[in-house]
Each structure stands twice: as structure tokens, then as C-alpha cells.
Amino acid sequence: MIIGHHATWDVYGCQPSQISFQSDIEALLTTIVRELGLTGIRSGFKQFQPIGVTGFILLEESHISVHTWPEHGFVALDIFSCKPFEAAAVSFMLERELRCDQIVLHQMSRGKLPEHLSLPQERR
């Protein structure tokens, strides 16, 4: 049994205009959450001056978070979820929205439990 699915993206060569401001980054994360069929609970974002953003959306399933470095054309994004999701779809959205040169995706399973430690199906 796998409890969680965790993916991280290192996104290089982004257009600075696409990753500099909170409204754009918040809209991107909101779109990702919606497209993956996840459920947002609460969010928090910080606009750095003059440019750059950090933020997160707390999910019913866990979280999505981001930090941007427009001066380097770089974005670090991660999603952790108890619900499986399609990481390739996120990569496609990032490439399309951020107009980047390179995306490095890392995926891992979290909480690999042997069956004897798992709760019965009716308690999940």
C-alpha cells in the first residue's frame, strides 16, 4: 500500500514575465489543482519585491507549493497527495504556461506500508 505520491519539478529557462507576480503563479497553481481533480482548502502566497513569488495551496489530499526566481528563470514546484495524479499533465501545463526550456521531474512514493500494517478497506 502506498500512502502518498510526491512529485517535484525543477523548471529552467522560464520567461521572467511569466513567473514574477503572485497573480500569475496563484492562477497557475489553481489551474493545476483543478485539472488534477484535487481539492483546495486554503492558500497563502507572498509577492517578493520587486519580483518573485512563493506560495502554497493546502489540499484536502495534502499540498502543492512553489517558489520562483525570475532573475534566474527558475521555478521549484512540488505536489504531495494521497490521491494519485498525472505528473506528466503538470509538466505539460508548466511548459505551456511558463514557456520554459527544460523541466526536470522527480517522482516518489511515500509511506510504502506492508499489507499487514494497512487499515481494513472500510476504515480508509
Catalytic residue check, 20: no
Catalytic residue check, 5: no
| Catalytic residue selected from 6, 43, 62, 63 | 62
| Catalytic residue selected from 67, 81, 91, 100 | 67
**Residue pair 29/98 in contact by the 8 Å Cβ criterion:** no
Each residue of 23-56: b (16+ CB within 10 Å) or e? ebbbebbeebbeebebebeebeeebeeeebbbbb
Q: Which amino acid is at 79?
A: I
* Nearest C-alpha neighbor of 82 from the set 116, 39, 30, 42: 39
User: What grid cell was written down for 104?
Assistant: 526536470
Consecutive H or E run containing 17: helix 16-19
Could you give the residue numbers annotated as active site? 62, 67, 82
